[in-house]
Chain A
């Protein structure tokens, strides 16, 4: 199946610093990628839709200035958590659609972010 690679898998950072997470589609091109956030024992909450060559679309309640998304190529989207705080600690995971009518979602491995 399609492969989506996310890096890093784990990161610990200090409050106030920024962290960049990369999401790559390894064997297919993705004009759209999705970024999710998942708290322990909870569901995946869509944060934003990353669109290649244009601005990302953010879900209601997600601060676009805090969660910067860049989709500069057909195989790479990045999420930067700026001025991180402990409450930003979470599991961040990306997905890229593929398959019939571009509906099947393939997920990256996820990034466990801990802000201390």
Chain B
């Protein structure tokens, strides 16, 4: 089945700086790659996603890039703000179900 690895596990950034989280996947047949933000004790919220026929997608301060050949995808958050502090999960859809990365704890310090 699909295996998703996510790095780093924790990321501390100064407010206004950029944050980058990277994920790799194993199943070349995976075709959908969402990113979720989860605040403590709450449900994961979809923040952006990308499909395998697209290399990059941007939504305001958030962007995702996908390299199908290398089987990796990344989340980029620019101009970080304290409310961006949360755990971020990448995922890849293989065999009809989502496989999640281990998560990245992002801390944005004012």
Question: Contact residues of A with B, CB < 8 Å?
Answer: 34, 41-46, 49, 91, 93, 95, 101, 103-110, 112
Contacts and interface: CB of A to CB of B under 8 A. Distances in A.
B49 A107 contact: no
B44 interface: yes
A108 B97 contact: no
A110 B89 contact: no
Contact of B97 (A49, A93, A101, A107): A49
A110 B43 contact: yes
B99 A112 contact: no
Interface of B: 32, 34, 41-46, 49, 51, 89, 91, 93, 96-103, 105
B100 A109 contact: no
Given A34-B98, A44-B89, A46-B98, A107 B103 contact: no
Nearest to B98: A105
Contacts of A107: 43-45
Given A104-B49, A110-B42, A44 B97 contact: no
A43 B43 contact: no
Nearest to A93: B43
Nearest to B103: A43
Contacts of A42: 102-103
A34 B49 contact: no
